[in-house]
């Protein structure tokens, strides 16, 4: 497959591995605890599982990875469009003299900054590589973009995710006001959608927002003829046994050779079913499903969307499918009627915020709703005004879901005064500039900053203030590639693919009579939680000697075994 090349690509391909691990430092003052439901006491949990992180998103993603790798069902990002009007700067400290000169420089317009596309690609590449590691096997990533970088972004995502992983390229009709002086009014942007396992992406149980309330898509069934003649539907015959259902009480379908389906003899119908066998000849749109229905004794069968399907003969001699459905599925590649940046800016202004070009809540909410899992994690590493967090809370309020969000915003002022404050207001309810009371959507979040110092000291040692629970997340991720979901209250972190993973660190051993709890010794090993199979033990040193092999142990020394992932 052809790949994209640009200035600095070689330097950023492994840059995500060079980014140091940092810790998340909670700020209780900026966090928002969920309020207890009406009538309940003060014992409501203090956190909702939602997270807002202030910090460079490359470093934040690296810090979040040990906890959330492989667990995120939905990622939505709205990165800089690189239009030349945004004033974004390249800030990644890449060990390459070729691109270090870009550090901190604001990227200008085409002609002013000739390498602005190279800088944008160098910024996007390591972030997309990390974001891919967050995705659940059934996860989907949506990326907003416009004409300036759509061609580069598509090539980049094809390379990182795979061209066969692309679900579609949505065209979002942006609505709003357009420049009347333009020769051609630009009224669209794009949203690239990729899935780790497209075959596991189910038919979304949502309708396109532009669908009229009177549309037949809202009906509990779909009825269509399956007679379809064309190059992709070669003519073939289907035997219709006695008892084939009809949608009329009684009558006769006459033999015919000039219209489809063709019948060699008359078909008699009594009591809404055929009383004579026949053969139908035509091209078919659902022949295999029709035969499955016949072989199933005329009982409904499930189609590819999981819809119960039955077939009937009509008075005209046509054969129609009737698909019963609990939820409609109608997602098209052109998205409209979900608001505009102008309408969202106006809504934010009524909340007391000024923010340029925010994505409308209903757009992001629509994308989120395509995933059936109502308890999924939604990640946005270019959080801006916090639209994704707002959309998650709004969708939860509408369908009773328990989705959680993770938002990352680099700018400290925006993160505190816009992102967090906005999500807090919509969670708790607020009064807008018009004096209207906007009801609470519910929910809350924990606000965190990235630690100023990395997990490891300059000489490669673990920082002395790192707790066992914090280090356990990194050890588990290093060993399994998965986010850590354990409780970190035992040296046995868990079992992955029939291998037990242990960590000896910071006095985790409950038996204080055993000395040297961070070192693997015979006395330490004897009091570890037992596991009969293969074991991986992380510790500062190993004093077991030849017993290491006999006990089926792979020893890994901390912190050196955590250096490159």
Q: Domain holding 14: CATH number?
A: 3.40.50.150
337 SS3 class: coil
Burial class (CB in 10 A: 0-12, 13-18, 19+), 314: middle
Same domain membership, residue 309 and residue 201: no
Distance CA 88, CA 452 (A): 23
Question: Is 459 contained in some domain?
Answer: no
Same domain membership, residue 519 and residue 393: no
CB 494 within 8 A of CB 476: yes
Which of 43-57, 242-256, 397-411 has the lowest average pLDDT?
43-57
Residue with the bigger pLDDT between 68 and 460: it is: 68
Same domain membership, residue 318 and residue 237: yes
Residue 41 has pLDDT above 50, yes or no: no
Question: Is 87 contained in some domain?
Answer: yes
Residue 508 has pLDDT above 80, yes or no: no
Same domain membership, residue 235 and residue 207: no
Q: Which residues have C-beta within 8 Å of that of residue 42, sequence separation ≥ 6?
A: 36
Question: Is 2 contained in some domain?
Answer: no
Same domain membership, residue 203 and residue 241: no
* Rounded mean pLDDT, 550-565: 85
Task: Compute how many other C-beta atoms are within 10 angstroms of the C-beta atom of residue 384.
Answer: 23
Same domain membership, residue 144 and residue 120: yes
Same domain membership, residue 430 and residue 391: yes
Last residue of a domain, one of 269, 294, 324: 324
**Using 50, 70 and 90 to split pLDDT, how confident is the model at 44?**
very low
Question: Is 1 contained in some domain?
Answer: no
Question: Is 3 contained in some domain?
Answer: no
Same domain membership, residue 302 and residue 185: no
- Total domain count, the chain: 3
Last residue of a domain, one of 265, 295, 324: 324
Distance CA 102, CA 549 (A): 51
- Listing from the earlier edge strand, what are the strands of the sheet with 404-409? 24-26, 446-450, 51-54, 404-409, 377-380, 72-77, 135-145, 188-195, 166-173, 334-335
Distance CA 530, CA 553 (A): 12
pLDDT given at position 338? 95
pLDDT given at position 46? 43
From the list 379, 421, 452, 429, the residue with the least C-alpha distance to 31 is 421
Last residue of a domain, one of 450, 484, 513: 450
Which of 303-312, 414-423, 456-465, 535-544 has the lowest average pLDDT?
456-465
Question: Is 216 contained in some domain?
Answer: no
pLDDT given at position 458? 79
Same domain membership, residue 32 and residue 151: yes
Question: Is 460 contained in some domain?
Answer: no
Which of 58-62, 64-68, 97-101, 296-300 has the lowest average pLDDT?
97-101
Per-residue DSSP letter, 165: G
Q: Which residues have C-beta within 8 Å of that of residue 235, sequence separation ≥ 6?
A: 229, 281, 282, 283
Number of helices (H), then strands (E), in the chain = 15, 27
Residue 506 has pLDDT above 90, yes or no: no
Same domain membership, residue 542 and residue 474: yes
What is the average pLDDT score of the chain?
91
What is the model's pTM? 0.85
The parent domain of residue 232 ranges over: 221-324
Residue with the bigger pLDDT between 159 and 458: it is: 159
Same domain membership, residue 230 and residue 88: no
pLDDT in tens, 126-176: 999 999 999 999 999 999 999 999 999 999 999 999 999 999 999 999 986
Task: Compute how many other C-beta atoms are within 10 angstroms of the C-beta atom of residue 69.
Answer: 21
Question: Is 57 contained in some domain?
Answer: yes
Same domain membership, residue 86 and residue 23: yes
Q: Which residues of 441-473 are buried (b: 16+ CB within 10 A; e: fewer)?
A: bbbbbbbbbbbeebbbeeeeebeeebebebbbb
pLDDT in tens, 174-226: 986 666 667 888 889 999 999 999 999 988 989 889 888 888 788 888 899 99
């Amino acid at each position: 497959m052809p790949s994209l090349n640009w200035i600095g690509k070689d330097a950023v391909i492994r840059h995500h591995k060079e980014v140091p691990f940092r810790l998340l430092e909670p700020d209780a003052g900026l966090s928002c605890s969920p309020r207890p439901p009406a009538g309940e006491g003060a014992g409501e949990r203090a956190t909702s599982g939602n997270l807002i992180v202030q910090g460079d998103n490359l470093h934040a993603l690296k810090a979040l990875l040990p906890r959330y790798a492989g667990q995120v069902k939905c990622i939505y990002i709205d990165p800089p469009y690189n239009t030349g009007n945004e004033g974004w700067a390249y800030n990644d400290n890449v060990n390459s003299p070729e691109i270090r000169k870009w550090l901190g420089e604001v990227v200008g317009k085409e002609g002013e900054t000739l390498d602005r596309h190279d800088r944008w690609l160098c910024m996007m590449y390591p972030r997309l590589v990390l974001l891919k590691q967050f995705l659940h096997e059934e996860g989907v990533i949506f990326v907003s973009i416009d004409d300036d970088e759509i061609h580069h972004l598509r090539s980049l995502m094809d390379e990182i995710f795979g061209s066969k992983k692309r679900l579609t390229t949505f065209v979002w009709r942006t609505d709003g006001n357009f420049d009347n002086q333009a020769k051609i009014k630009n009224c669209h942007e794009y949203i690239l959608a990729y899935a780790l396992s497209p075959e596991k992406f189910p038919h979304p149980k949502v309708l396109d927002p532009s669908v009229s309330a009177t549309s037949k898509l809202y009906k509990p069934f779909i009825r269509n003829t399956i007679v379809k003649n064309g190059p992709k539907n070669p003519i073939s015959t289907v035997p219709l046994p006695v008892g084939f259902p009809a949608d009329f009480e009684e009558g006769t379908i006459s033999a015919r050779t000039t219209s489809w389906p063709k019948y060699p003899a008359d078909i008699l119908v009594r009591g809404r079913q055929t009383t004579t066998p026949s053969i139908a000849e035509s091209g078919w749109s659902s022949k295999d499903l029709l035969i499955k229905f016949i072989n199933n004794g005329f009982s409904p069968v499930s189609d590819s969307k999981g819809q119960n399907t039955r077939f009937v003969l009509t008075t005209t001699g046509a054969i129609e499918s009737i698909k019963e459905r609990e939820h409609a599925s109608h997602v098209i590649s052109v998205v409209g009627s979900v608001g505009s940046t102008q309408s969202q800016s106006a809504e934010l202004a009524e909340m007391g915020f000024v923010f340029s070009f925010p994505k409308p809540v209903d757009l992001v909410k629509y994308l989120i709703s395509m995933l059936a899992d109502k308890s999924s994690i939604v990640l946005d590493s270019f959080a801006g005004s916090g639209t994704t967090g707002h959309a998650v809370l709004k969708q939860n309020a509408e369908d009773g879901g328990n989705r959680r969000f993770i938002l990352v915003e680099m700018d400290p002022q925006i993160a505190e005064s816009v992102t967090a404050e906005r999500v807090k207001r919509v969670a708790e309810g607020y009064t807008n500039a018009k004096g209207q009371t906007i009801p609470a959507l519910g929910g809350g979040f924990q606000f965190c900053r990235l630690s100023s110092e990395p997990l490891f000291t300059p000489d490669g040692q673990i920082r002395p203030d790192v707790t066992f629970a914090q280090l356990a997340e990194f050890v588990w991720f290093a060993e399994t590639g998965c986010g850590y979901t354990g409780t970190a209250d035992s040296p046995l972190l868990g079992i992955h693919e029939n291998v037990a993973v242990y960590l000896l660190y910071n006095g985790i051993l409950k038996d204080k009579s055993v000395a040297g709890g961070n070192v693997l010794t015979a006395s330490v090993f004897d009091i570890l939680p037992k596991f009969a199979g293969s074991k991986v033990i992380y510790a500062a040193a190993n004093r077991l000697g030849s017993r290491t092999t006999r006990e089926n142990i792979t020893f890994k020394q901390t912190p050196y075994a955590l250096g490159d992932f």
